[in-house]
């Protein structure tokens, strides 16, 4: 299979393949990429300082996430991965919403009940993450099935790692989506590892995209470190889904530059040479080179954009840290429309003990 690439690692590009995007869209995408990279660095530091409990970053995968998400509209549904802070931001989740989640404070829409990075934002159609690997895929297909049934003109995105493709849920979801021609985009962010398991231990296939063929729909292989290629592949998949053409599996070939999470040491299972090689394919360096080559960004503008991102992060962290923790009795709310008697008893007992 050919891999779709618009921008080469040195910033040179194929003008015949460039998607039709406005300058402000390109700049917006670049800013999101800078923001999520600094967000990752900052959050990892906060975790090391004990100011948040746990963190999973996406460094190296910014193009796959920002490029793909930029092709969706605000009405579309997304079932993201814990590694997809960038998708949440593009979907319109405020930066503070992400930091509040990690701080598990009272402003977190999930009231601090989820594990850190297990995003969920109802207002932006970002469905709360369930942790078992690949469990989101059948859920996303269910949403796409409902959309088709109700004739809602929405497309559902679900993103997952290469490791998820070894789970039964991946195959069940792909099969159902294929049979019912559902408006769903499967995004496999193939970052080469599932914690310490390399992708060659996940599959004997030449790639993951080709698996779509077995389920009767198209699979597309894309350079996951090329933001324009990711946008272009997603846009084509979304347009097809919206016009009744059914699902697409997009495999974005990328690399997880850091460890699996704040609890992992990747030096135990991969070589420094491998990491160095992927650094030369950095998605942000590549997009920056492209924008400069096209005259859409100057060195000075880049510097001030980075400062702007830094300022936004600093003020957001300060604001989130001021928010108190959720009150203990908030754990009894938000699940049942009418509280069952036994939960009410427990809530009353807690209130008595606290008073
Ligand atoms: C069913 C299940 N098994 C194991 C785990 C533990 N676990 C959490 S993340 C992960 C690796 C997932 O890798 P991949 O799907 O490639 O996504 P990535 O983390 O690389 O983005 C594992 C094994 C889990 N959450 N659920």
pLDDT at 334: 85
- State if pTM tops 0.85: yes
Report the relative pairing of strands 3-4 and 248-253 from DSSP bridges.
Answer: unpaired
Give the model's pLDDT for residue 2: 96
Structural contact between residues 151 and 184, judged by C-beta atoms closer than 8 angstroms: no
**Token pair of 35, please?**
């923001």
Single out the residue of 68, 101, 100, 74 nearest to residue 87, CA to CA: 68
Of all protein residues, the one whose alpha carbon is nearest to atom 26 of ligand 1 is 132
Q: Is residue 171 annotated as part of the catalytic site, yes or no?
A: no
Residue 51, judged by CB atoms within 10 A of its CB (0-12, 13-18, 19+), counts as middle
What pLDDT does residue 120 have? Answer: 97
pLDDT at 165: 98
Tokens standing for residue 329: 């009795």
- All residue ranges of the chain with pLDDT < 50 are none
C-alpha–C-alpha distance, residues 347 and 232, integer Å = 51
* C-beta of residue 325 within 8 angstroms of C-beta of residue 106: yes
259: CA distance to ligand 1 center in Å? Answer: 13
Rounded to the nearest angstrom, the distance between the alpha carbon of 183 and the centre of ligand 1 is: 25
**145 assigned to active site:** no
Which of 83, 256, 281, 286 is an active site residue?
Answer: 256
Residues with Cβ within 8 Å of residue 272, at least 6 apart in sequence: none
**How far is Cα 297 from Cα 304, in angstroms, rounded to an integer?**
11
Among protein residues, the one whose CA lies closest to atom 19 of ligand 1: 194
Mutate to test the pocket of ligand 1, among 138, 163, 186, 192 (most ligand atoms within 8 A of CB): 163
Q: How far apart are CA 191 and CA 160, in angstroms?
A: 10
Structure tokens at 267: 């030096």
The preferred substitution site among 158, 194, 197 for testing ligand 1, maximizing ligand atoms within 8 Å of CB, is: 194
Contact 241, 177 (CB under 8 A): no
Which is the catalytic residue, given 260, 281, 286, 288?
A: 260
Ligand 1 interacting residues, C-beta cut-off 6 A? 81, 83, 131-133, 160-164, 191, 193-195, 256, 260
Question: Which atom of ligand 1 approaches the CA of 199 most closely?
Answer: 16
Other residues' Cβ atoms within 10 Å of the Cβ of residue 342: 8
Catalytic annotation present for 256:
yes
- Per-position DSSP letters for 154-220, written without gaps between them: --EEEEEEGGGGGSHHHHHHHHHHHHTT-SEEEEEEE-SEETTEEGGGT-SSS-SGGGGGGGTSEEE
Q: Whose CA is nearest to atom 7 of ligand 1?
A: 133
**Measured in angstroms, how far is the CA atom of residue 132 from the centroid of ligand 1?**
7
Pick the CATH number of 3-324 from 3.40.50.1100, 3.30.390.50, 3.20.20.70, 3.40.50.970: 3.40.50.970
Distance 195 CA to ligand 1 centre (A): 7
- Residue boundaries of the structural domains of the chain: 3-324, 328-355
Determine the Cα angle at 90 with ends 87 and 96, to 5°. Answer: 90
Task: Compute, in angstroms, the gap from residue 64 CA to the centroid of ligand 1.
Answer: 18
Nearest ligand 1 atom, CA 56:
19
Residue 178 vs residues 128, 138, 206, 239, 244: alpha-carbon distances, Å: 25, 12, 21, 16, 12
Ligand 1 atom at minimum distance from 133 CA? 26
Mutating to test ligand 1, I would choose from 133, 165, 262 the residue with most ligand atoms within 8 A of its C-beta, which is 133
322 C-alpha vs ligand 1 centroid, how far in Å? 33
Distance 163 CA to ligand 1 centre (A): 6
Would you state the pLDDT for residue 354? 79
């Amino acid at each position: 299979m050919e891999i779709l690439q618009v921008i080469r690692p040195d910033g040179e590009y194929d003008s015949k393949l460039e998607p039709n995007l406005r300058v402000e869209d390109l700049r917006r995408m670049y800013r999101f990429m800078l923001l999520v990279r600094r967000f990752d660095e900052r959050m990892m530091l906060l975790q090391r300082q004990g100011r948040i409990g746990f963190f999973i970053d996406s460094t190296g995968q910014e193009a796959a996430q920002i490029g793909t998400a930029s092709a969706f509209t605000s009405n579309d549904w997304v079932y993201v991965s814990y590694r997809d802070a960038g998708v949440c931001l593009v979907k319109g989740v405020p930066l503070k919403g992400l930091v509040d989640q990690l701080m598990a404070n009272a402003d977190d829409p999930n009231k601090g009940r989820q594990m850190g990075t297990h995003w969920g934002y109802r207002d932006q159609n970002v469905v709360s993450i369930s942790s078992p690997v690949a469990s989101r895929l059948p859920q996303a297909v269910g949403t796409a099935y409902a959309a088709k049934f109700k004739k809602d003109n929405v497309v559902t995105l679900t993103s997952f790692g290469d490791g998820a493709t070894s789970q039964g849920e991946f195959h069940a979801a792909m099969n159902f989506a294929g049979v019912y021609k559902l408006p769903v985009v499967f995004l496999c962010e193939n970052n080469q590892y599932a914690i310490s398991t390399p992708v060659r231990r996940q599959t004997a296939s030449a790639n993951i995209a080709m698996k779509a063929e077995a389920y009767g729909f198209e699979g597309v292989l894309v350079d996951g470190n090329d933001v324009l290629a990711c946008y272009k592949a997603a846009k084509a998949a979304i347009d097809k889904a919206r016009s009744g053409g059914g699902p697409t599996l997009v495999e974005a070939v990328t690399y997880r530059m850091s460890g699996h999470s704040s609890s992992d040491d990747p030096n135990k299972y991969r070589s420094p040479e491998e990491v160095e090689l992927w650094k030369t394919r950095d998605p942000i360096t590549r997009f920056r080179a492209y924008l400069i080559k096209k005259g859409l960004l100057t060195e000075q503008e880049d510097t001030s954009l980075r400062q702007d991102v830094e300022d936004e992060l600093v003020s957001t962290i300060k604001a989130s840290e001021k928010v108190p923790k959720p009150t203990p009795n908030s754990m009894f709310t938000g699940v049942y429309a009418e509280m069952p008697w036994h939960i009410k008893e427990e809530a009353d007992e807690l209130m008595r003990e606290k008073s």
